[in-house]
Amino acid sequence: MKKTLLLILCALFAVGPFAGNMLASSDIVRDRYVDLSTRVDDSLCAFPVVVSGSSNINDLIFLDDNGKPVRLLSTVNHAEITFTANGKSLTAKGSGGIEYLVNPDGTISVNTFGINLLLTIPEYGPVFLDTGRAGPRHLCRTESGSRPYGDRTAGSC
């Protein structure tokens, strides 16, 4: 038993320094950053609502053999969204992710996964949002950029 354990440990120490290089792939780009935003939304209520948010974002960009992006996997953790109006605030906390797939015809499919959100409403209590997985939602490419299908305000696809 001791010999087997010793052999396993020796093998791990021998391979350990090279494991990172063996698992690393040149066709995946990693990016981690903190996203902070604040805006005033006049469409939620009859009065302006300040919406501020912060989250940690981890992106993995998958590239094809030519170096073109074919998939973006973006995970979000420690997200906080605060809605403030008339001297009162509500804060939601959550996590989740979004997957963007570039289709052969140039459109982009969008899927969400693992979106969990906790919002505590005064005098009511906690409300949980758990979407699990939603999608696909397709975006079309236009000269002015990408937008969801069905959005007729920006022209037609």
DSSP 3-state percent helix, strand, coil across the chain (nearest 5): 15, 60, 25
> E strands within 16-68?
28-41, 49-63
- The predicted-structure confidence for 94-117, as pLDDT tens digits, reads as follows 999 999 999 888 888 888 888 888
Query: Across the chain, what does the average pLDDT equal?
Result: 75
- Nearest-angstrom CA–CA distance, 29 and 38: 28
More confident residue, 82 or 1: 82
- pTM greater than 0.85: no
- The predicted-structure confidence for 7-23, as pLDDT tens digits, reads as follows 344 444 444 444 444 34
Task: Give the start-to-end residue ranges of the domains of the chain.
Answer: 26-154
Say if residues 93 and 80 touch (Cβ distance below 8 Å).
yes
